[in-house]
Structure 1
Amino acid sequence: MYARPLSEILHRALTEPGVFDDTLKRFESLRGYGLLPRGRESAGVRLSDEQIASAVLGFVPILPGWAGHVSLVLGSLCAVGGPAASFRGTATLLDSIASVIAEDEACRSILSFSFSIARTRNDDDYHARALFQKGEQRRTVSYVSKMATSLLSKGAEAIYDHDRMDAPSARQLVLGRDFFTQLRRAVSLSRQLDLPLKADWREYQTEEERDAFHRSLGARRNSRFLNLGVDTQAVWPKEPTRVKFAGRHFVLFPKTKEFSHSISIDLVNERISAEDARTLLNRFLSLLSWCDDSYAVLDDGWSGNPIPVPVQRSHGAFSTTPHWVFSRSIPDDPELLQRLAYYREGLNARQAGLVTFEVLSFFKVFERRSRTKPGEQNATKLWIKNVFAEVSASLRPEILSRFDADRNGKDVEKYVFDNCRVAAAHASESFPSDADASPELRRLYSAAEVTFALARHFIQTEYKLSKLSYSDELADDRDDSLPETPKANIGDARQE
């Protein structure tokens, strides 16, 4: 099976009737992420089962340009409960799909694969589920991030809620047995006939031009680029530019209608780890900020591309409505007003990518204002100790797992107070915190999720503050619908 006929098969099976251009864009994106053979000279390379599975996953996102990224992320998801609980003993989602393409028996036993992308506060959340027949039993296996280590241990599938959904909504693609049966039949026939490739080579002309461009930016055959977005108003090159800093090369991409400012660095040929690379790029942006007196925030990204790739612009979520309902009175407790201000400050810091200020702002929401008397336990630490078990139930498993690993057995209240609050507020020899260092930033990102959850819990439990925009009264947990006649102002407004 070659890439070109596979694109035609998947186009007919997985897209709405229409032009073929979007499917070609998906395959371009998959090649850009190294998931399919690249270049004219590789057009006649027969695809492996894993490469065919990657192509299938490339049709999960709506936007064709995201095919490579989404396929890479989904393919790396691991089975809850480990390989023993997975479909045919496979470790990852990519392996599971590849096994269906490879074997008739596996193809007959699969009932469906479901892939979902849910929008969370900070990012997209990826999940998958397989439904298959094992003997007389119908089994379900869920696939989650490899960072959710607590869910990958043996037996975790027995207590995992396979129907859980952590976001308000998600987009889902479900592929049934008939799809895989037809795909496997086409793949098997192609391999059996073993015909030479017949392709329209014109589709590779623009790709060859891009290859020459990427080589000028430092791309090599064994390259593996880390691509990170940048939010800045500092002076930036107008064209993609290869620069050298501290003995290493990286590529700066300019902001466009589709892409944000971004930086790409070749982890292999620059002989640097992703963690050290983030630290190096933060050092670069710190010097740039100093020279230009402009802010520069290093955002998230990904690694694995054989070429440097600009990062898609992230448009913050907003909503508009012709019937805007808001009827709230200002709280009369001045301390609550201060804590709400800190809460908003924490959300602003999160949007700006300032994680140290995010941690500190959310901490100030639940910090007790009373002075601790000699011999007494700190009131803030005591509150954290008492409520953490309840609050931690609302955290995603991967966040909680990273947070627990970071505190390394230290009492949670002492870790939050000393290593998070003190380190962010005034780093010292006892509590160091380097805002450019990648390990420290990763630690603080986990801490920020925890302090955010603690802040929400504090306001909800201590002040009983309603979350409804149309009423000061607390909503019945069983009924979140609008009242019949809300006392509200109705008008045209925008919340962004």
Structure 2
Amino acid sequence: MYAKNLSLLLHRQLSEPRSYDETLKRFESLRGYGQLPRGRERAAQRLSNSEIARAVLGFVPTLSGWAGHVALIMGDLRPVGGVAASFKGVASLAEAMAALLTKDEDCNALVSLTLSIARIPGNDEYQAKLIFEEDGQRKTNSYVSEYALTLAAAGAEKDFDHDRPLSTNTRQLVLNREFFRELKRDIDLSRHWNRPLETDWREYETEDERNAFDERLGARRGSRFLSLGVDTAVTWPKEPTRVEFGGHDFVLFPKTKEHSHSISIDLHHERISVEAAETLLNRFLSLLAWCDDQHAILREGWTGNPVPVPVPRREIASYVMPDWMFFRSLPEDKELLNCLSYYREGLNAAEAEIASQAVLSFFKVFEMWRDARKAKRWIKRVFTDACTNVPEHALAQFHSDRQETEIEDYCYKCRVAAAHASKSYKSDADISSETRRLSAAADIMRALARHYIRTKFGFSDSYMSDKINR
């Protein structure tokens, strides 16, 4: 099965009534993110089942330019409960999908595969659910982010809610047994006949030039780039530029209509971990921020590209009412007004990815007693109810970070670390692991703050009324 043949098959099955040019853009994106063989010289390379699976994942996003990015992330989703709980004992979603294309009995065991993209404030979250039949029983596997470490533990699948949506607005692509049967049949026939590739090479016209460009920016055989967005007003190069800092090379990409400022670093050849790389880039941005006296925020990204790539611009979702309906009044309670101001401050800090300030602002909402002991007792009492709608991966990360510390004590320690340069609770905002820890804590503080405002004041979050209808 060649990539060209696969593009025609998947276009017919998954593209809806769209131009074939859109499917070609998806495949170009997949090659650019290393999910399919790159370059004209590799066009006649036959695809593995894993590569075919990743091409299918490229049809999950509605925008063709996001195909490679989404396939890269979704292909590496990990099974809840670890390898022992996974379909056919494989380590990732791409491998599970590849297994469906390997044997007829595995393909026939499938009931459905649901691929989900959920909009979480400031980011997207990805998840998959595979339902199959085994030994006369119907079973379910879920696949989540590789960073949800606690969900990878043995037995985690027993308490995991496989049907719970990631957010209030989740887009899904559901593939059934017939889809994989037809795809497997076409793959088997292609491999059986073993015909030479026939193509007009149109889709490879500019790829040779792009390969040469990538090599100038440091792409080599075996490269595995980390790419992170940057929100900043500091001085930045107007063209993609290779920079040396702290003994490592990385690439700066400028802001364009389609892309944000961003940085890419080759984890493999620079011999650096994700955590160490993020810390190094934070140090770099701190120095730029000092020199220009301007903000510089390292945002989210991904790993796995064989070449450095710019990060797409963040499009923050907003809601527009065709008919404006707002029936709220200015609260008279000064304490409530104060809580609302702290809550908005926390949202703003979270959007700017200033995790320490988000933790502190959200904590201030329910710290109105000015008494740490009362605040901690309240956290212990309401924690379960307050965190009902917190995504499971965020809760899992929070519990993993606190380890054996009591929930209420850990929350307060995060508040102290965010508020003070304390010797007991040190916090360095440039260190990647500390930023991630406080970001996870901020998700919990946000849920607690929202619960406090709703229950303490009976305050509605509807545009239609001030009070909650009980």
AA of the residue aligned to 1:20: Y
Question: Which runs of 5 or more residues in structure 1 are unaligned?
Answer: 477-496
Measured on the aligned residues, the alpha-carbon RMSD in Å equals: 1.9
The within-5 A match list for 1:340-351 is 340-351=340-351
Shift of 1:453: 1.0
TM-score with structure 1 length normalisation? Answer: 0.90
Shift of 1:331: 1.8
1:199 corresponding residue in structure 2: 199
1:58 corresponding residue in structure 2: 58
Q: Is residue 423 from structure 1 mapped to residue 421 from structure 2 by the alignment?
A: no
Q: Secondary structure at the match of 1:468?
A: coil
2:111 corresponding residue in structure 1: 111
AA of the residue aligned to 1:407: R
2:73/2:302 contact within 8 Å kept: no
Shift of 1:6: 1.1
Q: 1:475 to 1:91 in 2, by over 3 A?
A: farther
Distance 1:249 1:115 in 2: 36
Deviates further, 72-81 or 102-111: 72-81
Q: Secondary structure at the match of 2:328?
A: coil
AA of the residue aligned to 2:385: E
Deviates further, 109-118 or 304-313: 109-118
1:401 corresponding residue in structure 2: 396
Deviates further, 88-97 or 22-31: 88-97
Q: Deviations over 1:46-84 (max 9, x none)?
A: 111111111111111111111112112222223334445
Distance 1:10 1:48 in 2: 16
Distance 1:346 1:431 in 2: 21
Q: Deviations over 1:408-429 (max 9, x none)?
A: 31222222222x1111111222
1:468/1:475 contact within 8 Å kept: no
1:474 corresponding residue in structure 2: 468
Match of 1:391 among 386, 390, 394: 386
Deviates further, 449-458 or 66-75: 66-75
Q: Is residue 224 from structure 1 mapped to residue 224 from structure 2 by the alignment?
A: yes
Give the paired residue count: 470
AA of the residue aligned to 1:409: E
Shift of 1:159: 4.4
State which structure, 1 or 2, has the greater radius of gyration over its C-alpha atoms: 1
Distance 1:358 1:193 in 2: 60
The within-5 A match list for 1:422-441 is 422-441=416-435
Q: Secondary structure at the match of 1:230?
A: strand
2:225/2:266 contact within 8 Å kept: yes
Q: Secondary structure at the match of 1:175?
A: strand
Q: 1:148 to 1:265 in 2, by over 3 A?
A: closer
AA of the residue aligned to 1:96: A
1:447 corresponding residue in structure 2: 441
Distance 1:258 1:152 in 2: 35
1:124 corresponding residue in structure 2: 124
The within-5 A match list for 1:239-388 is 239-370=239-370, 378-388=373-383
Deviates further, 341-350 or 108-117: 108-117
1:368/1:379 contact within 8 Å kept: no
2:380/2:407 contact within 8 Å kept: yes
1:242/1:252 contact within 8 Å kept: yes
Distance 2:82 2:422 in 1: 42
Q: Percent identical across equivalent pairs? A: 56
Match of 1:414 among 409, 415, 426: 409
1:150/1:397 contact within 8 Å kept: no
Question: Which runs of 5 or more residues in structure 2 are unaligned?
Answer: none
Q: 1:378 to 1:158 in 2, by over 3 A?
A: closer
Distance 2:193 2:68 in 1: 29
Deviates further, 396-405 or 335-344: 396-405
TM-score with structure 2 length normalisation? Answer: 0.95
Q: 1:83 to 1:217 in 2, by over 3 A?
A: closer
AA of the residue aligned to 1:277: A
Distance 2:80 2:226 in 1: 28
Deviates further, 37-46 or 404-413: 404-413
